[in-house]
Amino acid sequence: MTMKSTLFLILFLTVYYVANAQTSKVTEPTMVFVKGGEFLMGCTKEQQGHCISDEKQSVLVELHDFWIGKYEVTNAQYAEFLSQVGNKKEGGAPWYLMNKYALIKKTAQGTYVVKKGLENHPVANVSWYGAKAYADWLSKQTNKNYKLPTEAEWEYAARGGQKSKGYIYSGSNTPQAVAWSYEYAANSKTGWKFKGDVGTHPIGQKTPNELGIHDMSGNLKEWCSSAYSQVLQAGINPTGPAMGSSRVLRGGSWDNENQDARVSARDHAFPVNRFAVNKGFRVAMEKDIATKVDAYIKKKKFSGVLLIRKNGKTLYHKSFGMANREKSIPHQNNTQYPIASITKIFTSVIILQLMEEGKIDLNKTIGHYLPSYQGPGRDKVNIHQLLTHTSGLKRSEDKQSEGNLFPDIYSDSISTDELVKKYCSGELIHLPGSTFNYANGDYIILGKIIEQLTKDTYQNVLQKRILTPLKMQSSGLITNTNKPKNLAQGYTRNRKTKKITRDADKLFQNYFSGAAMYATATDLAKFADALYDKKTLLKPNSMKLFLQNYLQTRGYGYGLWVRYSTYNKTKVKVAERYGRIWGINTLVGRLMDHGITIIVLGNTNLVNPGSFQRVVGEIVMN
């Protein structure tokens, strides 16, 4: 090959790859902003008596701002998705059903193409799993928060949101203006037909509703994220029941009558449905919080990892600054952290699990379960009082020798048995149950009781009951033989000199079941999901004990604070667990009524995690 031809080939390939890189950019749906507000969901007076049983009981719903697709997702858009990821099976069937009604075909090269002239029709033949997979893929491609709309979001948008004029259908009281119901679809010359059957029509041909959204009264029925229930769910941003065998479908279709195109009309089907030619979807998008959160982090010079989840979905996960300044190791999303007293909620969960199994009575004393314990509180302090820090025991941290930078308990190389005997068996300074007195020693004793009851080490019990089942593979207990080499290092700023210095080394293992765990933000999110969203760790009655605000504790439950606070002028129930060891400042917070989890892993004392949670929480709620 000559030099001239070689240069030509290089130029050709460069142009080819650049062109292909440009054309491979994802085609995002056109989105419409929907301002949040309150509305009556279900059968309202304008429905004129057409309602059926599962929509008759209307409920009051409040929604935050969101975006929703102006149109249903098209064949062309879905074919682009299939070409990139393939037509995978989920729930026992492919995302896209390749039958005689399929308008998307697979080529010999493995890509997917739409039948000519039908590119702008809404995609049908899609299972609920296939619709959700498209939204998840779109989120990854764009770094935005695409999803399927909840049933409440769908109906609110169909009604026109705050601009609603109270129409029967989405945008009109005349179905022909906005819906492709059967009688209009059958007589149309623009629709796709198969052997005489009517079918879909190009998107956006009918009149839009008050918000400028098309086809919400019909072209195809549309999958929503919510599981189906006969009873509508009230409240703030309801997502539907936690479990259910079928998923909600909304809007009319070309094979439905007019009454099925009403804004309150409901339908449902199994996530995998054999008859899918009348089912499609549109996407929604949660508020983009990244810009505001980034700006706040930059202002505060945050060093660490921040993860935000809402209703089981990650909205934000980023890392900033240095995990180890001496070694120039930057923070990463998977940086492991000593999480300090966040350990306590793991310990309290294990205690409550043992209670559920009938192995422990919260009203029995230390001595009942730990016969070797010889402190004054042996037969006076019960398990409930240890969990709530109302034991009355002298704090294990109160002894600090001259010249020692921190309490003696964290520089004394001894076994956990000796730890309890030497530092957690002191005098009673309060009547048990009368006074809140925060102390790691209470939870160190609980750890030893767990070992006594299970005949196993606390580390193994933690692994078997929580870490392994939840696949928390980057978490564990710091012990003499198990200390991750790349733990984030803490740094403390001196208030007077303004200098930031590396925290002194300490025996993390002596924090034991009170504060000796390490974890990543991702693993803590798995724990929070299991605890608050999936509710797989504790039974309902145990959760009530866990999250109860006990009178003597100033808002403390079992290992965490539970209190009401004001976010954006709204009273919010907040469950929060801090972890602090000098420069290490961590938090797992939960805005209970809003499904928001905030995980802060910081390695300086420059940022207060509680203040951080409030600002970030208000950004997400706004």
3-class SS of residue 222: strand
Residue 512: what pLDDT? 96
Whether the predicted pLDDT of 2 surpasses 80: no
The number of CA neighbours under 13 Å toward the Cβ of 334 is 4
Residue 10: what pLDDT? 35
Residue 242's H or E segment, with its range, is none
Residue 593: what pLDDT? 85
**All residues at 6 or more sequence positions from 15 whose CB lies less than 8 Å from its CB, including other chains:** none
Look up residue 464 and give its DSSP letter: I
Instruction: Summarize pLDDT for 238-267 with one digit per residue, the tens.
Output: 888 878 999 999 999 988 889 999 999 999
Residue 595's H or E segment, with its range, is none
Residue 289: what pLDDT? 82
Whether the predicted pLDDT of 134 surpasses 70: yes
What confidence tier does 312 reach under pLDDT thresholds 50, 70, 90? confident
Please give the full DSSP string across 54-102, using - where no structure is assigned.
Answer: HHHS-EEEEE--EEEESSPPBHHHHHHHHHHH---EETTEESB--STT-
Residue 20: what pLDDT? 35
Residue 4: what pLDDT? 43
Residue 194: what pLDDT? 53
216-238 average pLDDT score: 93
3-class SS of residue 114: strand
Nearest to 327 by CA among 488, 512, 157: 488
| Sign of the torsion angle spanned by Cα atoms 203, 274, 264, 181 | positive
CATH superfamily of 290-421+437-621: DD-peptidase/beta-lactamase superfamily (3.40.710.10)
| Token couple for 215 | 């086809």
105-130 average pLDDT score: 95
Q: Write down the domain spans for the chain.
A: 29-71+135-285, 290-421+437-621
Q: Are 565 and 550 in contact (CB under 8 A)?
A: no
| Burial classification of residue 280, based on how many CB atoms lie within 10 Å of its CB (0-12 exposed, 13-18 middle, 19 or more buried) | buried
> Angle CA(569)–CA(572)–CA(350) in degrees, nearest 5?
160
- The CA distance from 125 to 152, in Å, is 24
- The CA distance from 181 to 252, in Å, is 7
Phi, psi dihedral angles at 59 (to 5 degrees): -135, 155
What confidence tier does 6 reach under pLDDT thresholds 50, 70, 90? very low
Q: First-to-last CA distance in the chain?
A: 64
467 bridge partner residues: none
Could you tell me whether strands 284-285 and 146-147 are parallel, antiparallel, or unpaired per DSSP bridges? antiparallel
Nearest to 381 by CA among 394, 368, 366: 366
66: left (phi over 0), alpha (psi -120 to 50) or beta: beta
Residue 187: what pLDDT? 58
Residue 298: what pLDDT? 86
142-163 average pLDDT score: 94
Residue keyed to tokens 């019909």: 218
As a whole-number percent, the residues of the chain with pLDDT over 90 amount to 73
Residue 196: what pLDDT? 54
Domains 29-71+135-285 and 290-421+437-621 belong to one CATH topology: no
Instruction: Summarize pLDDT for 595-609 with one digit per residue, the tens.
Output: 999 999 999 998 889
Largest CA distance in the chain: 95
- The CA distance from 221 to 242, in Å, is 23
Q: Which stretch of 4-13, 77-86, 429-438, 590-599 has the lowest confidence by average pLDDT?
A: 4-13
Q: Taking the C-alpha atoms of 343, 344, 346 and 352 in order, what is their torsion angle to the nearest 10 degrees? A: 170
Looking at the chain, the number of H-run helices and the number of E-run strands are 18, 28
155-171 average pLDDT score: 97
531-558 average pLDDT score: 94
The pTM of this model reads 0.65
Whether the predicted pLDDT of 483 surpasses 60: yes
Nearest to 430 by CA among 381, 396, 387: 381
- The CA distance from 161 to 36, in Å, is 7
**CATH number assigned to the domain with residue range 29-71+135-285, chosen from the 4 options 3.30.465.10, 3.90.1580.10, 3.40.640.10, 3.40.50.2000:** 3.90.1580.10
Residue keyed to tokens 């008050």: 210
What confidence tier does 342 reach under pLDDT thresholds 50, 70, 90? very high
Instruction: Summarize pLDDT for 559-591 with one digit per residue, the tens.
Output: 999 999 988 888 999 999 999 999 999 999 999
Instruction: Summarize pLDDT for 557-566 with one digit per residue, the tens.
Output: 999 999 999 8
- The CA distance from 549 to 193, in Å, is 62
Q: How far is CA 526 from CA 307, 433, 621, in A?
A: 11, 33, 22
Look up residue 529 and give its DSSP letter: I
Residue keyed to tokens 């006969």: 230
122 bridge partner residues: 74
What confidence tier does 478 reach under pLDDT thresholds 50, 70, 90? very high
- The CA distance from 265 to 251, in Å, is 7
